[in-house]
Amino acid sequence: MPQLSVLIPARCEEFLGRTIEDLLTNIEGDTEIIAVLDGYLPEPPLKQTDPRVNIIYHPESIGQRASTNDAAKLAKGKYVMKIDAHCAFDKGFDIKMLEAFKEVGDDVTMAPGMRNLHAFNWVCENGHTRYQGLSGPCKECGKPTTKDVCWIAKTNPWSTSYRFDKNMHFQYYGDYKKKQIGDLVESMSLQGSCFMCTREKYFELDLCDEELGSWGQQGVEVACKTWLSGGRVIVNKKTWYAHMFRTQGGDFGFPYENKTDMDKLRRTTKDLFFGDKWPKATRKFQWLIDKFNPPDWGITKGIIYYSDCQLDEKIAKPVRDRLLKISKDKNIPIVSATLKKMDFGKNIYFPSLKRGALTLFKQIYAALEHSTADIIFFTEHDDLYDPSHFDFTPPIEKRNEMAYYYNINVWQLRMSDGHCLYYHCRKLSQMCAFREVAIEHFRKKIALVEKDPIPGHFDRHIGFEPGTRNIKGGGVDDSWRVDWSSPVPNIDIRHAKNYTGSKWKIEDFVNRKYKNKAIETWKEGDSIPGWGLGTDIVKSLT
């Protein structure tokens, strides 16, 4: 009975036969090889007669993850090692890996140290040589080229430390590599082309979850599931494998069509792990971040700006100019969603949409989707923001809870005469929230509005501001809201084209609850704290 089963999912892999030969040459233990021909037959055909090699053939492709799972189901070894079909290996790598498991235990996912594989060159009749990559004529003389397989495991680079960034994109982690001591070292993540664990652990943790798509994010998935379930990810520096990289596309690209949008897949894995939604986790995701302290995982802030582009530029431009300065000074990126193309931050525009509640919600949703920040500040074209507004940070431990945070230190400025008014209210333009929470809210809100039999109609029972209506009241979610006040107020400019109406008298309130709250906090005057006279502010905007 073999101790190790090597699993090779393969789709249109020209080096599968060479990879199997390499394995057979360097195996020193009781190890079997299971290769899956996923919807293709190699040309030339595989000529493997070694009893340690088993071939599975799928008449139609089912995907890399599914193919790996099929191989794992047939595996006889206590341990399984998934590899890509274009790899070379150290002599006795299997024995060295098995010995390492005896040392660290079985609650581990392990990979050998990784080298780069120089698999082939392009050579022309004049002897000119070009490093592996896209096919084509010789770049020196223009003559046709042929492929010359050399199969060299390069000694540099030597990779033993990996991580992922805030978008769950694979990265090498050189700074952490400097901290690794010994031969069996921990890594935050894996590269994905080679990993080994017990067959039992492979299925227990569902390390190739087919729901995530055909392929992609393999190293992130395996590492997060291992760490968050209470295990460890180890790189064994006593041995190595060499992986051929192919990132140029064309005839030297990936064999699987990218049926799953990679950005969407990264968002899915972020929601699953960062969102602490994976049901088998015994550790919080923050534990993993705290342990490895990756450089770009600090809590980040972003600004989204939305506008119908109908406001007088005498008002709109000063608002944007202030936001641009705040963005630069505080390093808070802006994503704008507008009805006309605009040079303002990262701009998404919707020229075919008409002003309305549904359009506004779609603008907000698009801006949220295009931002990569953790905490999002909502801003509008007719509000003047003080820099202190963006110093607020919601409690990090609440990031996965449906909560919305409103700055209630906002004064109204009447453009017709400079009159200033304050009363307690919660405005969308003064809200901030964790991005994932806001995305979920507006995704559901858009769906609710689109179900209305009257196109474009918005039922106010849904609640315009997040957190102002619960589900029983017809709202989107049972979220909660938190009031906070910036040291210096913001200004809500009231003009002829405001989307929402203005209230200048207590009698304007219909809802008794809001009316009583307004009575308690009502302040009127000719100036705004920290800003000066209302008439002077109006003059600066006209």
Of the pLDDT bands very low, low, confident and very high (cuts 50, 70, 90), residue 257 is low
Q: How far apart are the C-alpha atoms of 189 and 367, rounded to whole Å? A: 30
Chain segment 156-183, per-residue pLDDT in tens: 999 999 999 988 999 999 999 999 999 9
pLDDT of residue 509: 79
List the domains of the chain with CATH numbers.
Answer: 4-292 (3.90.550.10), 301-540 (3.90.550)
Task: Tell me the DSSP string of 320-357.
Answer: HHHHHHHHHHHT--EEEEESS---SSEEEE-TT--SSH
Burial class (CB in 10 A: 0-12, 13-18, 19+), 179: exposed
pLDDT of residue 334: 98
Q: Reply yes or no on whether the pLDDT at 253 is more than 80.
A: no
More confident residue, 136 or 44: 136
Closest Cα partner for 444 from 427, 408, 469, 425?
A: 469
Closest Cα partner for 33 from 94, 101, 117, 106?
A: 94
pLDDT of residue 259: 46
Q: Cα dist. 276→150, 294, 367, 392, 482 in Å?
A: 46, 18, 24, 24, 23
Question: Which helix (H) or strand (E) element contains residue 21?
Answer: helix 16-26
Q: How far apart are the C-alpha atoms of 196 and 81, rounded to whole Å? A: 4
pLDDT (average), residues 119-142: 93
Using DSSP's 3-state secondary structure scheme, residue 108 falls into strand
Tokens of residue 490, six digits: 């913001």
Angle between the 285-292 and 218-228 helix axes, to the nearest 10 degrees?
100
Q: Cα dist. 194→88, 190, 270, 315 in Å?
A: 11, 8, 22, 58
3-state secondary structure labels for all residues of 63-80: CHHHHHHHHHHHCCCCEE
Task: Answer yes or no: are the C-beta atoms of 123 and 160 closer than 8 Å.
Answer: no
> What is residue 35's DSSP assignment?
E
Chain segment 298-343, per-residue pLDDT in tens: 788 999 999 999 999 999 999 999 999 999 999 999 999 999 999 9
Angle between the 262-269 and 218-228 helix axes, to the nearest 10 degrees?
0
pLDDT of residue 471: 80
pLDDT (average), residues 256-270: 75
Task: Tell me the DSSP string of 196-262.
Answer: EEEHHHHHHTTTT-GGG-SSS-HHHHHHHHHHHTT-EEEEEEEEEEEE----SBTTBS-SS---S-H
User: Position of tokens 């040079």?
Assistant: 343
Using DSSP's 3-state secondary structure scheme, residue 17 falls into helix
What's the angle, vertex CA 50, arms to CA 44 and CA 52, rounded to 5?
120
pLDDT of residue 460: 75
pLDDT (average), residues 110-139: 94
Q: Reply yes or no on whether the pLDDT at 365 is more than 90.
A: yes
Q: How far apart are the C-alpha atoms of 36 and 225, rounded to whole Å? A: 24
Q: Evaluate the omega torsion of the peptide bond into residue 44 and state whether it is cis, within 30 degrees of 0.
A: yes
Task: Give the β-pairing of 184-186 and 232-243.
Answer: antiparallel
Q: Reply yes or no on whether the pLDDT at 232 is more than 90.
A: yes
Of the pLDDT bands very low, low, confident and very high (cuts 50, 70, 90), residue 113 is very high
pLDDT (average), residues 245-274: 75
Q: What percent of the chain has pLDDT over 70?
A: 98
Q: How far apart are the C-alpha atoms of 91 and 27, rounded to whole Å? A: 7
Q: How far apart are the C-alpha atoms of 93 and 450, rounded to whole Å? A: 58
pLDDT of residue 241: 98
Chain segment 25-71, per-residue pLDDT in tens: 999 999 999 999 999 998 878 887 899 999 999 999 999 999 999 99
More confident residue, 271 or 222: 222
pLDDT of residue 247: 66
pLDDT (average), residues 371-387: 95
Burial class (CB in 10 A: 0-12, 13-18, 19+), 208: buried
